[in-house]
Structure 1
């Protein structure tokens, strides 16, 4: 059994994760900003903790981590384009969690990012085709603040040598049922939210994904085969 602590537990990916993790015999502690999702998460089998990432300070998070003693923390929080916005939640909130992980000596973190989060002045990734480049330009024009917050969070995370992190980067999120997958260095396409949750669960229960940044896209492979591929061949993952 793995004990998970999910920050941002009310989101759709987090709820799918809770469902599949509990069904697999794991324990899930779900952190939500208010009681709006508590009934549905309780029905899924989660243990609920009310804590606003916007309002919480690092000692608040340290107390929570010390109380729960999770094996793995999952950062699934996101502003979703709503106030207080990505700078506060996706970046500053993430940094609070990084600080709390270090202060509480909690090692393992899985962070949900987004595909194409990168330092754009370095040029195009060499596997991008013309369609990827067009999609990238459109998305960065549409939601630059969100992508910039995600990028700053990842850059900060790479400075934290005590944290054993894996970054999971889904494409455009859909509500389609989980199907097959492509992991690693992918093209810019869509991703089922349920598929993201299943990939996180698979990654979290295998050794070797620490330090990897992995794109997750609807594809043609099985989750287990694709996870083994990126773990065994780290060139299939990237750090942006």
Structure 2
């Protein structure tokens, strides 16, 4: 049994995580900004905490983490295009959580990133084909503020040597049931939200994923086999 504290607990990925995690015997603490999803989360067995990343201070978040004392913190929060916006939640909110992790001496973090988050001035990743490049251009044109906020959060995370992080980067998120998966350096495709939740649970409980940034796409493999592949061959993951 693992105790999880999930920021962004009202999101669709986090709701799948709560439902599946509790069924697997884990203890899930879901942090939501208001009581809008409280009832449905409690129905599946999650323990709910109300705290907004927009207004909470680092001491507030530190106190919450210290009171729960989780083995794994999950950052699944995301503003998307909604107020208060990705700069406030996806970047500044994430940095608050990083600060609070260090202040509470909590090590393990799984952060949900986004597809194709990278410093584009460095050029294309060598495994991208023409379809990937077209997808990348379209995504960056459609949601630049979101991707820039995610990128800044990851760059900041790389400076935090006390935090044992794993970053998962799903593709275009869908409502489809979880099927097979492809992890690592993949082509840019769609990803089931339920699959992301299952992958969070897998990497959080598997040693060797610390320090890795892993693309998560719908595919044909099993989660256990794909996680083992990435752990064994770390060149299949982004490491910086």
Counterpart for residue 236 of structure 1: 236
Gaps of 5+ in 2: none
Counterpart for residue 64 of structure 1: 64
Corresponding position: 1:141 with 2:141 = yes
Counterpart for residue 169 of structure 2: 169
Question: What's the offset of the Cα at 1:80?
Answer: 2.3
Corresponding position: 1:25 with 2:25 = yes
Counterpart for residue 10 of structure 1: 10
Counterpart for residue 132 of structure 2: 132
Counterpart for residue 157 of structure 1: 157
Question: What's the offset of the Cα at 1:239?
Answer: 3.2
Superposed counterparts of 1:94-109, under 5 Å? 94-109=94-109
Provide the rounded CA distance (Å) in 2 between the counterparts of 1:108 and 1:129: 34
Provide the rounded CA distance (Å) in 1 between the counterparts of 2:91 and 2:42: 28
Counterpart for residue 185 of structure 1: 185
Provide the rounded CA distance (Å) in 1 between the counterparts of 2:31 and 2:204: 18
Provide the rounded CA distance (Å) in 2 between the counterparts of 1:159 and 1:200: 22
What TM-score do you get using the length of structure 1 for normalisation? 0.99
Counterpart for residue 116 of structure 1: 116
Counterpart for residue 44 of structure 1: 44
What TM-score do you get using the length of structure 2 for normalisation? 0.99
Provide the rounded CA distance (Å) in 2 between the counterparts of 1:10 and 1:103: 25
Q: Deviations over 1:138-181 (max 9, x none)?
A: 11001000000000000000000000000000000000000000
Question: What's the offset of the Cα at 1:46?
Answer: 0.5
Q: Secondary structure at the match of 2:70?
A: coil
Gaps of 5+ in 1: none
